[in-house]
Amino acid sequence: MSHLMETQKSLVFAVTRRLPELITPEKPTPHEYKFLSDIDDQEAFRFQIPNIQFYRKKNNHVDVQKMDPVKVIREALAKTLVFYYPLAGRLREGAGRKLAVECTGEGVMFVEADADVTLEQFGDTLRPPFPCFEELLFDVPGSSGILDRPLLHIQVTRLKCGGFIFASRINHTMCDAAGLVQFLTALGEIARGASAPSIPPVWQRELLSARDPPRATCTHNQFDEVDDLIINLDDIVNRSFFFGPTEIRALRQLVPPHLGKCSSFELLTAFLWRCRTRSLQLDPKEEVRICYLVNARAKFNPPILPVGYYGNAFVNPAAVTTVGKLCENPFGYALELIKKIKEDVTEEYMRSVADLMVLKGRPLFTLARTYYVSDVTHAGFEDIDFGWGRAAYGGPPRGVIGYDITEMSFYIPNQNKKGEKGIVVALSLPAIAMEKFVAELDNMLKNNGQFVMIENASLPIQSAL
């Protein structure tokens, strides 16, 4: 089976940055302590999660041509922080590793920059990983800690073509993807002239705090303690794969009738988990897991999370099976496990996760032989408008976060050179396993060479979660 392969060309450019500054709320805000929920302050969320958005020059708007994106966003940020003032505070840790934000008004970190590159030089289709990202969101020394550090870091980089790049990094304990998009949407609204966000932010983290007394009533396989496997990270190969309408149609043909209607996400997740596991050639008796993030906002009946809630409101339940069962059974076996994950997430399940955090000291997710996926195709990062229209790209700057043979892949909306909309997924595997993985894709899809593989040889490996 032949492949259509696109190789991302290396791109090197220089970025000139001004000294970082702290942007504080434009008006005085309350000095108070606000506890995070027991969903927020899990061990696995205690890291900085990056995001990037690319904006084109708007040639048909004369007023926009005269505007400086740095000035516009800096001023809007100070105004937006009046409403989202906890983001201008600092995290503190108390008894039982409980996190609270002290609303000090110290501000968020902001960096102004210029790059000697045009948006067109990034290629016809913008997709991660993006070259020189460490220059587009410079890691200011001392800024990347979790406690007593700025909770939000923004760098706005002007491009030679008149466009700009908005890169950000936020402490994950403060919000999930939906919460971050809500904040950035508010920032965009105020940048375009609004006096207040259209959706007022709501804290109320007590709504997802543990019960008294805490009681874990559900099974949470994502926190099982299992032994790690050790592999040579020097042998890792990184590639991104595009799944368009052709590939999704091919996957639907593999669905057994008794499973009924399946979403594209369910199809793709089951497919990737099975192919990836087969490529690693693990002991058939070993247990493997798949975890994906489930937004629980709609799982409460009646709903308890108000519109405007910007805290973490998702969980990552796991499906567990053995290598032998996953690899030897038909595709429908993996698909059925994936579908059941979402069904297991209920209001009681969310309560049980919060209780488990208190009972077990906020354990880390299981890493060994686990594949994590996060679907950001509907998050809305590309819809954020600072006055220059929708982003040409919005979402994770890297498509994958890898650790040993555990990794998290992001499902990112994208399109191919034909203009077909689809999903790009990045994976990291040992070189031999990657060859086998590609062969598995061929064998299962059999779509006459329409499958697109985009090689990203420069994608860095970094610690997951």
pLDDT given for residue 442 in this prediction: 80
User: Which region among 88-97, 318-327, 368-377 has the lowest average model confidence (pLDDT)?
Assistant: 368-377
Range of 7-11, 180-184, 428-432 with top mean pLDDT: 180-184
What's the CA gap between 225 and 397, in Å, rounded? 31
The pLDDT > 70 percentage for the chain reads 89
Query: Comparing 343 with 53, which gets the higher pLDDT?
Result: 53
User: Cα–Cα distances in Å, from 345 out to 65, 154, 348?
Assistant: 48, 34, 8
Whole-angstrom CA distances from 156 to 51, 69, 112 are 12, 7, 5
Q: What is the pLDDT of residues 345-394, one digit of tens each?
A: 999 999 999 999 999 999 888 878 899 999 999 999 999 999 999 999 99
Q: What pLDDT digit, counting tens, does each position of 391-432 carry?
A: 999 999 887 765 444 678 899 998 877 778 899 998 888 889
Residue 64 pLDDT > 60:
no
**Each residue's pLDDT tens digit, 218-236:** 999 888 887 665 555 567 8
Q: Who's near 186: CB < 8 A, 6+ residues apart?
A: 80, 83, 84, 197, 198, 199, 201
Please give the pLDDT value at position 344: 86
* pLDDT tier at 171, thresholds 50, 70, 90: very high
Cβ-count burial of 80 within 10 angstroms (0-12 exposed, 13-18 middle, 19+ buried)? buried
Q: Which two tokens stand for residue 440?
A: 């598995």
Most distant CA atoms of the chain, gap in Å:
65
Sorted by sequence, the CB contacts under 8 Å of residue 292 that are 6+ apart come out as: 269, 316, 338, 341, 372, 373, 374, 375
Mean pLDDT of 120-130: 85
pLDDT over threshold 80, residue 341? yes
Average pLDDT value for the chain: 87
State residue 351's pLDDT score.
94
Structure tokens, 228: 């790690």
Select the highest-mean-pLDDT range: 6-10, 192-196, 262-266, 459-463.
192-196
Residue 149: pLDDT over 70: yes
Q: How far is it, in rounded angstroms, from Cα 456 to Cα 426?
A: 9
pLDDT for the residue numbered 455: 45
> Which of 68, 264, 81 minimizes the C-alpha distance to 183?
81
* Close Cβ partners of 448 (under 8 Å, ≥ 6 residues apart): none
pLDDT band for 452, please (50, 70, 90 cuts).
very low
Percent of the chain topping pLDDT 90: 63
Instruction: Show the tokens assigned to 12.
Output: 């090197």
User: Which residues are identified as catalytic?
Assistant: 172, 385
- Note the pLDDT of residue 2: 28
Lowest mean pLDDT among 1-5, 129-133, 255-259, 323-327: 1-5
Q: Using alpha carbons, select from 399, 405, 334 the residue that is nearest to residue 371.
A: 405
425-435: buried (b, 16+ CB within 10 Å) or exposed (e) per residue? bbbbbbeebbe
pLDDT of residue 60: 58
* Phi and psi torsions of 356, nearest 5°: -60, -35
Residue with tokens 């920059």: 113
Beta-carbon count within 10 A of 453 CB: 16
pLDDT at site 426: 85
